[in-house]
Chain A
Amino acid sequence: MNASSGKGSPPSLPTPDFQALFESVPGLYLVLTPELKIVAASDAYLRATMTKREEILGRALFEVFPDNPEDPSATGASNLRSSLERVLREKLADSMAVQKYDIRKPQREGGGFEERYWSPVNSPVLGPDRSVTYIIHRVEDVTEFVRLSQQGAQQQKLTEDLRARAAQMEAEIYSRTGEVQEANVHLKAANEELARRIAEGKKAREMLDGYFTLSVDLLCIAGGDGYFKRLNPAWEKVLGYSVEELLAKPFLEFIHPDDRQATAQEVESQRKGEGAVSFQNRYRAKDGSYRWFEWNATPVIAGELIYAMARDVTDLKQTQEALVRAKEEAERSSRFKDQFLSTMSHELRTPLNAVLGFSDLLTEERYGPLNDRQRRYVTHIHSGGKHLLRLINDILDLSRIEAGRLQLALEDVNLGSLFSEALDALRPLADKKNHTMTQEASPGLTVRADSTRFRQVLMNLLGNAIKFTPEGGKIELAARRAGHMVRVEIRDSGPGIPAGEQKRIFEAFYRLRQSGDATEGTGLGLAITQRLVELHGGHLALESELGSGSCFHFTLPLVLRAEEREGRKAGARNPTVGPARVLVVEDDPVAAHLLESHLASSGYGVAVCSEPRRALEVAAELQPQAITLDIIMKPINGWGLLLDLKSDPRTERIPVVVVSVVDQPATGALLGADEYLVKPVEKASLVAAVERCLGRQGSARQMRPILVVDDDPPTREFIAELLVKQGYVVGTASGGAEARSCVASSLPELVILDLVMPEVSGFQLLAEWRQDPQTADLPVFVLTSKELTLQETEYLQRHSAALFQKHEPWQEALLKQLNRSLAPIAEES
C-alpha cells in the first residue's frame, strides 16, 4: 500500500475550474463556433472591446463587431472574415497583419466608434474527426503602438532620406568631376557665343533705337508710377518741351484738365492689363496751346510698364471741327432761307389774292358791263397778277431745289406712258399753233425717276418747243437706250438758238433776244428743268443750229427689265452689268488690296481709287452701288471727301462706308456716312456693312406673300412690280371678292388694299377681316385715290396699319412703312 502509495500517483488535486481560468487569462481571447458565433471570451477581451459577456455570448461575431460605418475605407470586418474562412478551410492557424478595426462604444459612453488597431491570430481547435470544432481568436490591442509609430515614422523617414542622399552626393561628386571638365569646354564656347550675341543685340538695339528716335509718331514707355520712362524725340518736335522736361513731371500734368480723369482711367485699365485701347486726349505744348493725340496703348508687363503710341491728330481734328461747324452753319442758313421763302411766298400771295380775285369778278361783269378800255385794263391787271404768281411759284421751286430741300420720290417710270400723258396734256396748246407732235420710245423702256418731277421736266421742254416754234411746226419726243442709260430728246423744227446764247439760256431769268414778244414765261423754267434733271443724275444739254431747229436732250439711269435682272444675278450675260460694284477709296495700297480681296471674294465687283483727289469724279463716273472710304489720306483727308460725295447730286445717293482707324462714328454720321467701321476690319463685318447699304434684305426673307388688291390692272401691276423689286413675294387680287377668297385660303403677310372697287369695297373687306379672329390682326395698308371724309379717315386710322393717298407721292412712304412693319419678321427668320 505504502510502496504503491510511496511510488504512488500524485495526490489527486481538485479539477480546476477551466472556465474561470480561461476567463481570467491576461490575453485577449475569443472562442467562436465554425458558424462564427461567440461561445466564450476572456475578461481582458471584454474590457478591451468594451463589451459584456452576457451581451455577446451566442451572437454572431460580425453582428457584435460591425465595421465603422463612418469610415468608408474600413476593411477590418472583411479581412477578419477572410482569415476565419481560411482557418476553416485549411485547418491551420492564420496570423493577420495589423488591422484597423474600430470598436463600437456602448451607449453609456456616448455611442459611436473608437479608433483601434489590432494584431489578430486565428487558430483552429480540431475534433476527433479533424473537423474544426472551434476557432480561437486571439488579438493584441496595438492602438497605442500604431499611434506612436505613425509620429515616429515621419521623423525616421527624414533621417533615412538624409543619410541616403549624403551618400549619393558623395558618389556623384566623384562622377561629376569628369563632367565638369567637359562642361568647362562647353562653357568656353558658350562665352564666345555670348560675346557674339551681345554684339548682335547691341546692333539690334541700335536699330530699334534708331526707329524709336526717327519715328514721327509719338512713342512712349510709361510707368505705373505716372511718369514717362522713355520718350522719342517726336515729342520734342510736337510739344516743344525737351524730353528731360517731360520725364521730370507726372504725365497727367501735361494733359488738358478736362481730359485728365479719362486719361487716368485709361492708364488704370492698362495697368489691369485690359488689352490695347485707342482714345484721344489733349497735351499742353510749351507755347500753351493744346494738341490732340490719338493713342494706341498696349500693357506689356501688367501693372509695370505701358508701351504706347500716339499720333498728333490736331490738324485732322480741326478740319473735322471746321467741317462740322460749316455744315451746321450751312444748315442754319438753309433753314433760315426756307423760312424766309415760305414767309415771302405767304406775304406775296395775300395781296395777289385780292388783285386776281377782284379783277376776275370785274371781268365776269357781275356788277354791270365794262367798256372795252376797262375790260382791256382789267385783263392786264389779271394777267399781270397771274404772271407774278407763276414767278413766286417758280422762285420757291428753284430755291427748294438749290437748298437741297426737294426730295425726289424715285420709282420706276415707264417712258411710253409718261410721254403719252405729257403730250396729251399739251395737245390743246400745240393744236392752236397747228404743230404736229410725235412720240417714239421703245416699249418697256423704264427709268428711275420721280414721276411728278419728270413730267414737269417734259412739260417744260415741250412747252418751250411749242411756244418758240412758228405755226405748223414739228415737235418730236423720243427716248432710246444708250448703254445703261436712257437718252431722252425733245426736238423741234423752230428757228434754232444762236451758239452765243446756248449756254446762257439755262441761267435764271435769261430770255432769248428773239422772243421779244410778250411771253408768259418766268425765265426760270429752264433753270428749274436743268436742276431737276441733275437731281435725277442726268445732265440737260442742247444741240441747235440757227434755222434748223433745236434738240434738248438728257440721260437718265435705265431700269433693267426682269429677264436682264436675272442675267445680272447670274453675272454671266453682260460683264459690264455684273454684280454690285463697290468703289474702294484708300491711298494705302496694302489696305486697299485687303478691302478689295474681302469684297471680291464675296462676289462684289471692286474698283479701287488710290488718289483721294480724284475720288469724287471716279465715283460720279462709275456710279458704284457703295463706296468704302478711308479717312487718314493724303493730300486730302476723307472727311472733306465724304462731305463732297454727300453734297454732289451725282454721288449723294451712293451709300458710303467709312473704314478708318479713326474711331469717330458720330462725326461720320454727321457728315453723311451710312456705315462706320474702325480698322482693323474683319471681312464679315465689312461685307455685312456693304450688304446693309445695298439693302439686300430680299434673299434671306422667309415670309408669306403680300397681297395687292386693286381693281385697276396698271395700278395693281405697278404696285406688285414695286414690291417684287424690293425682294418681297407678292400676290394680287383684282377685286374685293377675289381678295376675300385669297385671304380665306391662305393668310398673306400683309394686304395693300384699294378702297373703291365694284361689288365688294375695301371698306367692306376691312370690316369683315376685323371681325374674324383669324384676320383681326392682319396688317392692312390702305392705298386709295378716294377723297376721304373725316369719319372715313378716322375709321381707317383705327382699322388699318397705314393709309396712303394715290394723289400724293406714296411709293417711298409705303416702302418705308412696309420695311418697318415687316422688319421684325425678317430678323426672326
Chain B
Amino acid sequence: MKHRVLVVEDNPANRELLCDWLQSEGYGVSAAATLEEAYCCFGDPRPEVVLLDVQLGADDGLALAQWLRRQPELREIPVIAVTAHAMAVDQARILEAGCNGCVSKPVDFRSLAVQLDHWLTQGGKVSPAR
C-alpha cells in the first residue's frame, strides 16, 4: 500500500517538484497551496505525513501544525517542515509549533527520504526504554 503524503506549498514550481519526486518515489500524494486548502485535506483517506512549507505567502504555515496538534484525531500525524529559513532560531520556532522534523530549502532529496522513512515506517514512536 502506498503511504499517503500531503504537500502544503504555495510556490507552484516547488509544489510540483515535491509532488513529482514523491510520486516517482512511490508515495500517494495530495497537495494544497494555502492553509484553507490544507485544512480540507484531512478527510478520508487521511494523509500519514505532512510536508509543510513554513511560509505560505502571507500566512504562517506553522498554524497548520499547531492546529493539527489540537485535533485529537490528527495529533499523531507527523509534520515535516520545509523551510528556506536558515537561522537556528527559526528551527527552534518550528519545533516549538509542533513539527516533528525539519528539512531546509533547497531540499536535499536524500535527507528528505530519510526523514519520511523514519516517520512512516517507525511511526515516529520509539519505546522510551530503548
What is the interface of chain A, defined by CB distance below 8 A to chain B?
Answer: 342, 345-347, 349-358, 360-361, 366-367, 385, 389, 393, 396, 756, 761, 763-764, 767, 787, 789-792, 795
Contact = CB atoms under 8 A, between A and B. Distances in A.
Given A361-B20, A761-B129, A763-B129, A353 B84 contact: yes
Nearest to B95: A793
A761 B87 contact: no
A393 B17 contact: no
10 contacts: A345-B85, A346-B84, A353-B14, A353-B17, A354-B13, A357-B14, A357-B109, A385-B106, A756-B130, A761-B128
Classify the secondary structure of B's interface with A.
loop
Contacts of A393: 86
Given A357-B14, A789-B125, A396 B86 contact: yes
Nearest to B98: A790
Contacts of A352: 105-106
Interface of B: 11, 13-14, 17-18, 20-21, 24, 55, 84-87, 98, 100, 104-107, 109, 118, 124-126, 128-130
A211 B128 CA distance: 83
A341 to B, nearest CB: 9
A354 B28 CA distance: 21
A345 B126 contact: no
Nearest to B126: A789
Contact of B128 (A346, A361, A389, A763): A763
A361 B107 contact: no
Contacts, number: 78
B11 A354 contact: yes
B115 to A, nearest CB: 10
Contacts of A350: 11, 14, 84, 105
A528 B58 CA distance: 34
Contacts of B104: 349
A820 B13 CA distance: 49
A345 B86 CA distance: 8
Contacts of A361: 17, 20-21, 24
B13 A789 contact: no
Contact of B124 (A346, A389, A789): A789
A367 B20 CA distance: 10
A353 B53 CA distance: 12
Contacts of A346: 55, 84-86
Contacts of B17: 353-354, 357-358, 361
A655 to B, nearest CB: 27
Among A351, A357, A366, A767, the one with the most B-chain Cβ atoms within 10 Å of its Cβ is: A357
Given A789-B124, A792-B126, A349 B21 contact: no
Given A357-B21, A396-B86, A789-B125, 19 more contacts: A345-B85, A350-B84, A350-B105, A351-B13, A352-B106, A354-B11, A354-B17, A357-B106, A358-B17, A361-B21, A361-B24, A367-B24, A385-B106, A389-B106, A761-B128, A763-B128, A764-B129, A787-B118, A790-B98
B87 A342 contact: yes
